[in-house]
């Protein structure tokens, strides 16, 4: 497709439930990022992939958060045993170029709004 | 501590005027700085990038300045229109971390007719 696609757009989870959020980046984009955005705040970095390799996961808030990109295209962010503080918008972004050479902006999807009740 | 501050959580100006948004940072050494626009319910959209060795960058009605001594970037929208109403985010790309950009909290801009 022409842009970064994320699904679902909205997800309501009961506390303790596991969730999986999907990101389809722009075809051919090497870099993929996950960000978390709380209401009224800027996006906070979670993790970064270059192709299938997860090169930076320093922003993942706990070991309940796990991301993968097994074939270097589609990525999934999984949150286990969701807590209320996990409620946020989860944004995926992709970029054509690789680490250290990104001279362009990132293309973001519209995000998945997760609400944990 | 490291901070990115976008002065003014919200800014309201009259249509046709120039909107000026500020981004200040402390204890970062950015390679370059980006500005994004975000509309409600959507992801950020890239607008402009300015490198550390550039003073000014223009694109249509947009102008960005970057002062690494003051650790500040200014983002200007000239001849503002109601359609420019959105949240504007500045973001730093850091030499120390080649894999991510760090965002400020944004300024919500409203242009009244």
- Angle at alpha carbon of residue A65, lines to A64 and A67, rounded to 5°: 145
Q: pLDDT tens for residues B74-100? A: 999 999 999 999 999 999 987 666 667
What's the confidence (pLDDT) of residue A97? Answer: 72
Check residue B98 and give its pLDDT. Answer: 61
Residue B110 has pLDDT above 70, yes or no: yes
Q: What is the pLDDT of residue A100?
A: 45
pLDDT over 70 (residue A1):
no
Please indicate whether, in this complex, the C-beta atoms of A59 and B100 are within 8 angstroms of each other. Answer: yes
A-B interface: how many C-beta pairs under 8 angstroms?
A: 58
Task: Give the tokens for residue B44.
Answer: 């950020």
The whole-number average pLDDT for the span B35-40 is: 96
Contact A105 B106 (CB under 8 A): no
Residues 57-96 of A with CB under 8 A from B: 59, 91, 93
What is the rounded average pLDDT of the residues A50-59?
93
Separation in Å, CA of B43 to nearest CA in chain A: 4
List the beta bridge partners of residue B107: B88
What confidence tier does B32 reach under pLDDT thresholds 50, 70, 90?
confident
What is the C-alpha to C-alpha distance for residues B88 and A88, in angstroms, rounded to an integer? 19
Chain CA centroid to CA A101, Å: 21
- Extract the tokens encoding A5: 């696609």
Q: Which residues of B touch A4 (CB under 8 A)?
A: 43
Judged against a pLDDT cut of 50, whether residue A67 lies above it is answered with yes
Structure tokens at B86: 């959105």
Q: How many CB atoms lie within 10 A of CB A18?
A: 11
Task: Please state the rounded mean pLDDT for residues A85-114.
Answer: 84
Residue A4 has pLDDT above 80, yes or no: yes
Minimal Cβ distance to A110: which of B41, B101, B105: B41
- Give me B33's structure tokens: 């700085």
Which two structure tokens, joined as six digits, stand for A60? 């993942």
Mean pLDDT across chain A:
92
Quick check: helix, strand or coil at residue B30? Answer: strand
What confidence score (pLDDT) does residue B85 get?
97
């Amino acid at each position: 497709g022409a842009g970064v696609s994320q699904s679902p757009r909205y997800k309501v989870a009961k506390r303790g439930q596991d969730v999986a959020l999907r990101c389809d980046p722009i075809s051919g984009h090497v870099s993929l990022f996950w960000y978390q955005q709380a209401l009224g705040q800027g996006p906070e970095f979670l993790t970064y992939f270059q192709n299938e390799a997860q090169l930076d996961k320093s922003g993942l808030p706990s070991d309940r958060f796990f991301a993968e990109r097994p074939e270097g295209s589609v990525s999934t962010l999984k949150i286990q045993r969701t807590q209320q503080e996990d409620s946020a918008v989860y944004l995926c972004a992709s970029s054509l170029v690789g680490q250290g050479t990104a001279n362009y902006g990132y293309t973001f999807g519209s995000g998945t709004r997760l609400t944990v009740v | 501590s490291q901070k990115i501050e976008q002065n003014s959580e919200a800014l309201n100006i009259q249509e046709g005027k120039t909107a000026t948004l500020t981004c200040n940072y402390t204890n970062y050494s950015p390679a370059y700085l980006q500005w994004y626009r975000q509309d409600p319910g959507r992801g950020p959209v890239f607008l402009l990038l300015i490198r550390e060795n550039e003073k000014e960058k223009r694109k249509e009605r947009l102008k960005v300045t970057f002062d690494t001594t003051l650790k500040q970037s200014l983002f200007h929208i000239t001849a503002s229109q109601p359609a420019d109403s959105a949240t504007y985010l500045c973001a730093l790309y850091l030499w120390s971390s080649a894999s991510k950009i760090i965002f400020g909290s944004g300024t919500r801009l409203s242009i009244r007719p």
